[in-house]
Chains A and B, each alone.
Chain A
Amino acid sequence: MNIKTVESEIVKDKYYVIDHPSGLTIYVYPKEGYRSSYAIIGTKYGSVNTRFKVDGGEEITVPDGIAHYLEHKLFESEDGDAFARYAKTGANANAYTSFEKTCYLFSCTDKFEESLEILLDFVQSPYFTAQTVAKEQGIIGQEIKMYDDSPSWRVMFNTLVGMYHKHPVRIDIAGTVESIAEITAEKLYECYNSFYNLHNMALCVAGGVTVEKVLSVADRLLKPCEKHEIENIFEDEPYEVAQSYVEQKFPVTIPLFYLGFKENIGNSAATSKQLAYTDILLYILASSSSKLYNKLLGENLINESFGYEYAEGPHYAAVLFGGESRNPKRAANIIKNAIREMKKEGIDREEFELAKRAVYGNTISEFNRNDNIANSMIDMHFNDRELFEYVSAIANAGIEDIEQRLTEMIDPENCTLSVVCGEDVPDDE
C-alpha cells in the first residue's frame, strides 16, 4: 500500500494520501489536540451525470434528480437506516448531492472507528426495492417544493438556466416532481453500480485521528472492486449565454439578483494555481475593499448580502455575483463596466498586494476546522488539485500571474442577469 506524506511549511501541517488496494483513495489529515473528527466519503457523481457509458457500452440516460434520490435511499439498508446506526455512536451524520459529486459525512468526538465502520458499510450496501423507492417520492417532493419557495435558490438557478443552452447544470439538483416519478429501483442500481465504484470515490478524514486508526477500519470494510471506465456525455455547449436576462415574479420585498459570467473552460477544471489566482483576482475586483463594491454601496445598489464566487464542475464554470438590490439592472451594468475597465487598465499593484494578503490569511484560517479541511480535500481530489499547492500558489503569487489569469476569464459581454422580484424593476438608463 502506497502512503504518501504531503507537508506544508506555510500551513505548518501535514497529511497523508493512501492508495488503498481496494481502489479507494484515502486522505488523513491529523489535527493534534482536536477532540473531534470529521470524515467524508464521496463519489464523483452528481446531478449533471445523467448520460453516460460504462466500459464503452451503450449510452445510458437516467431521470433528472436521480443522484440526489440515490443519496436519500443509500441511507437505508435491509435492517434499518444509517441514522439509526449512527445513533449508537453519537456521531452527527449528513449527506448532500451537488452538481458534480455526492458525499456522505459524519463528525464525532467518541467512537470514531465505529462511526467510520457504519459509513463505509452503508455506502457499499445498496438496498432498493419498489416499496422503499416509492416511499421517498413524498419526502423529496416536499424538498423540491421547499426550494421552489426559496427566492435565493430560484435566483441562482434561473441564472444557470439563462447561461446554459444544454448543459444539465441548468436542471435542479433534486429534479422535478415529474422526473423523480420515473425513478425505479432498477435505475438506482444501474447508477449505483456505475458510479459508486471505489476507484471513482475518495475518503477524507480530518481531526483527532491517525492513519492507523483509519486503515484499521478501511482494511476490514472496503471490498476491492474492478475499475470501470465511465464516460460522461455532455452535449456541445455554445460559447454564448442562452439568455442575457431572466426574471421571475415572487413575493419578495427587495429584488434579488445574480449576474453570471459564462466561462469557456473546455473539459478541464482549473488547476491549483489557476484557482488560487482566480480567488485573488475576484477579491481585487469585488471584495468589500474594492472600488467596485464601494461604488455599488455608495449608490445604494447593494447591501451586505452581496457576494461573489467562482463556480465550476464538469464542462462548465462561471463567475457569479449576487445579492439584494432595488435596481439590479444598474448594479449589473456597473459590475460589467468594472470588468471592462480592469481588462483595459490592468491591475493596480497595491490592490494586488492587499488582496493577496487577505486571501492568504482567510485561507490559513480555514485550516482551523476539520470540516473545512476534509471538504476542501475531497473537492481538490475530484478536480485533480492539491490543497497545499493551492495555499503556496497564493503565498507566492505575483501580479503578472493575476494579470495572465484575467486575460483567460470573465468576458463582460457574455453574461446572464437573473432577477427575482415582486414588481417590475427599473431599467438602467
Chain B
Amino acid sequence: MFILEQLKRVQIADGVYFNTIYDDRFKTNRIAVTMLGELSEETAAANAVVPSILTRSCKAYPTYEQLSRKLDYMYGTTISGMNGQMGDFQAMTIFAVGIDDRYTLDGKSISEETADLLCGIIFEPNAENGEFNQEDFSQEQRQLLDALDGQFNDKRAYSMKNFREIMFKGEKYGINKYGTKETVRALTAKKAFDAYLEMLKKARVEIMCIGSGNTDKVCGMFKERFGKIERMPIETKTLIIPRAEEIKEHTDKLDVAQSKMILGFRADCADPDDKVPQTRLACAILGGTAHSKLFNNVREKLSLCYYCMSAYDAVKGVITIESGVQKENIEKAKNAILNEIEEMKKGNISDEEIESTKMSLVNGYMSSVDSSAGTQLWYLGQMLKGKKRTPQQAADEINAVTKEQVIEAIGKITLDTVYVLTGKEDEE
C-alpha cells in the first residue's frame, strides 16, 4: 500500500488501482473511475460515445427515465461519464457524486447503494448479445454528432480543434477524442460495445474515492468485478517531440467578427522531467495570470487582444498561446507575443514577476484540494505521473525555481504552428 498524506492506494487487479482520500470537510462522497486507453482514429468515436451510453441506463434500470428517477430518489446523486484526454491517451471517466449519509432527510444511508449502482453502470450495462441497447446507442450517437457540430458553434473551441489537427498531424495527441462525423456515423451498437470490452480489458484504471464514507466495501466491490476480467493493461507513454523543425502556418476564413490566433510551441520539457516546474513557471510568467506579460503588455498596454493567454501541457511538453484579435491587428499581435518571449530569453524578467507568479501558482495548487472534484483531479494527475506529490510538495518545487532556470526553460521553446481563424470581409 502506498500512502501520501491522506491518500491510501492499493492495487486491486493488474493495472487497476483503488485510491481513498478521506476528507470529512465535504458534504458529498465522490467515486470516480478513470480508464486510460489507446487514442486511435479507429476507436476514438466509440470511446467517446461509450461514457454517455453507460450512464443512460443499466441492467437494473434499463431506461433513462428509470435511472434518472432512481438518482433523484438518492437525493439527486449524479452519475456521469466524461471523455477526456491525457497526453496520447483517451481518458474515460465514469463517476458518482452524492450527499453524505449525514445529510439525508430520512436518516437512511445511500452511500453503499451509490457504489453498487456505479458498479452496475460499469460492469452490468444495458447490453445483450454482444451489443449495447439499440435505443441507447442511437440516442447517444445522435448527441455525439450534435456535439461535433457544436464544436463549430463555439469559435474558440473550433479554432482550437483546427489548430490541434494541424500542429499534431500524424501524432496520436492530435486525434480528435470525439472522432470525426464519418467515424461516428460508421459506429454500431456492437462496435461500441466491443470497444468498451477492450477498454475494460486493456485500460490502466484509477479509482478515486473522496469523502468521509467507509470505502472498504466499495474497494471490495471493484476488486471482485475487475477480478472477473482477463486484464492486459497497456503502457501509457506519450510521444514527446522536443523541438519544432519548421513553422507550420495556416489560416481559415469564416464569418466571424473577432479573429482568433493560436501559437503552438514545443517546450523541450515534459513529464517526468525534473525541469517541468521550471517550464511551468516560465509559461505562467509569460501568459498564465492576470498580471502576466501577455496580459499586461499585449492586452492592456497595446490593447491588441481581448484575451491573450498561455497554457502548458506537461504531459505532452507543449505550450499554446490563445488570443482573440481584430483582423487588422493579427500580425502586430503575433509580433508582440513573440517579442515578449524574446525579452524573457534576454533575462528581462523582474523578481516581482517571478514572485507573484509563484504565489499565483501555489495558490492554485493549494486551493484545488478544497473541492472534491479538484481533489480527484489533483491526485489522479499525480498517480499517472512518475512522481507523486501533494499540493504542498508541488508548491515547494515551484518556489525553488530560480530566475536562471526560467530563462533556460523559455530559451528551449520552439515555435511549431501559427493558426489563424479570421473574417472573410475586410471590414472589422
Q: Which residues of A contact B (CB under 8 A)?
A: 10-12, 31-36, 81, 83-84, 86-94, 107-110, 135, 138-139, 142-143, 145-146, 148-152, 207, 251-254, 256, 287-289, 294, 297, 300, 303-305, 324, 354-355, 357-362, 364-365, 367-370, 395
Instruction: Determine the distance from Cα of A94 to Cα of B291 in the docked complex, in whole angstroms.
Output: 12
Q: B239 near A: Cβ within 8 Å?
A: no
Interface SS, B side: helix
Q: Is the CB of B142 closer than 8 A to any CB of chain A?
A: yes
CB distance from B66 to the nearest CB of A (A): 9
Evaluate whether A148 and B257 lie within 8 angstroms (CB atoms) in the complex, with A34-B25, A86-B291, A303-B143 already known: yes
Q: Complex: how many Å from CA A143 to CA B325?
A: 10
Per the bound structure, the CA–CA distance linking A219 and B304 in Å amounts to 41
Q: Is the CB of A254 within 8 A of B363?
A: no
Contact B291 A87 (CB under 8 A): yes
Q: Are A357 and B360 in contact (CB under 8 A)?
A: no
> How far apart sit A368 and B372, CA to CA, in the bound complex (Å)?
8
CA distance A138 to B72 in the complex (A): 48
Least Cβ–Cβ distance between B420 and chain A, in angstroms: 15
Contact of A93 among B71, B290, B300, B366 (CB under 8 A): B290
How many A-B residue pairs lie within 8 Å, measured between CB atoms? 181
* Residues of A close to B142: CB separation below 8 A: 300, 303
Q: Does B2 contact A (CB under 8 A)?
A: no
Report yes or no: B255 in contact with A251, Cβ–Cβ below 8 A: yes
Would you give 23 A-B contacts (Cβ < 8 Å), ordered by A? A33-B25, A81-B300, A83-B295, A92-B363, A94-B290, A135-B303, A145-B306, A146-B257, A152-B154, A251-B254, A254-B150, A289-B65, A300-B142, A304-B52, A357-B76, A358-B72, A360-B76, A361-B76, A364-B75, A365-B28, A365-B99, A368-B28, A369-B370
Residues of B within 8 A of A355 (CB): 72
Does residue B236 face the partner (Cβ distance < 8 Å to A)? no
Chain B contacts with A in 224-250, Cβ cutoff 8 A: none
Distance in angstroms from B399 CB to nearest chain A CB is 11
Not counting A94-B290, A107-B363, a sample of 7 additional A-B residue pairs whose C-beta atoms are within 8 angstroms of each other reads A139-B303, A142-B305, A146-B324, A252-B152, A324-B146, A361-B77, A365-B28
Q: Is B168 an interface residue (CB 8 A)?
A: no
A289: contacting residue among B68, B150, B295, CB under 8 A: B68
Task: Identify which of A11, A36, A294 contacts B65 (C-beta below 8 A).
Answer: A294
- Taking a contact as CB atoms under 8 Å apart, the answer to whether B146 and A303 are in contact is yes
Whether the pair B324, A142 counts as a contact (CB closer than 8 A) is yes
How many chain B residues touch A (CB < 8 A): the figure is 66
Instruction: Report which of B69, B77, B363 forms a contact with A110, defined as CB distance below 8 A.
Output: B363
Query: A376 → chain B, closest Cβ, in Å?
Result: 14
Q: How far is the CA of A228 from the CA of B369 in the complex (A)?
A: 43
Q: CA–CA, A109 to B371, complex, Å?
A: 13
Shortest C-beta distance, A124 to chain B (Å), equals 21
Contact of B363 among A33, A108, A145 (CB under 8 A): A108
CB–CB A87/B352 < 8 A: yes
Task: Collect the chain A residues with CB atoms within 8 Å of residue B364's CB.
Answer: 92
Contacts of B362 in A (CB 8 A): 90, 109-110
Return B154 CB to nearest CB of chain A, in Å: 8
A360 CA to B74 CA in the complex, in Å?
A: 10
Q: What's the nearest-Cβ distance from chain B to residue A145, in Å? A: 5
Closest-by-CB residue of A relative to B356 is: A87
Q: Are A149 and B256 in contact (CB under 8 A)?
A: yes
Do A304 and B143 touch across chains, with their CB atoms under 8 A apart? yes
Contact with A along B54-73 (1 / 0, CB 8 A): 00000000001100110111
Say yes or no: B64 contacts A254, CB within 8 Å: no
Task: Point out which of B52, B68, B71, B367 has the most chain A C-beta atoms below 10 A from its C-beta.
Answer: B367
Cα–Cα, bound, A18→B99 (Å): 30
B149 touches A254 (CB 8 A): yes
Q: C-beta contact mask, B292-306 vs A, less than 8 Å → 1, else 0?
A: 000110011001011
Across-interface contacts of A149 in B (CB, < 8 A): 155, 256-258
A29 to chain B minimum Cβ distance, whole angstroms, is: 14
Closest CB pairs A-B (n = 8): A90-B359, A361-B75, A289-B68, A358-B76, A87-B356, A361-B76, A36-B367, A142-B306
Q: How far is the CA of A358 from the CA of B99 in the complex (A)?
A: 10
Q: Which of A36, A354, A362, A368 lies in contact with B69, CB distance below 8 A?
A: A354
A33 nearest CB across to chain B (Å) = 4
Chain A residues positioned under 8 Å from B367 (CB to CB):
35-36, 107-109
Closest to A289 in B: B68
Per-residue contact bits, chain B 143-157, to A (CB 8 Å; 1 contact, 0 not) = 100110110111100
Contact of B306 among A93, A139, A253 (CB under 8 A): A139
0 or 1 for each of B306-323: is its CB under 8 Å from A? (1 = yes): 100000000000000000
Whether the Cβ atoms of A365 and B139 lie closer than 8 Å is: no
Give A87 to B354 CA distance when docked, in angstroms: 10
Give the shortest distance, in Å, between A276 (CB) and chain B (any CB). Answer: 14
Q: Known: A90-B362, A254-B153. Contact between A357 and B72, CB under 8 A? A: yes
CA of A256 to CA of B150, assembled, Å:
10
Closest to A109 in B: B366
Interface hub of B150, B256, B369, B371 (most chain A Cβ within 10 A): B150
Beta-carbon contact of A252 and B153 below 8 Å: yes
Do A360 and B75 form a contact, CB below 8 Å, given A90-B363, A303-B143? yes
Instruction: Say if the beta carbon of B27 comes within 8 Å of chain A.
Output: yes
B188 within 8 A of A: no
Contacts of A300 in B (CB 8 A): 139, 142
Report chain A residues within 8 Å CB of B52.
Answer: 304
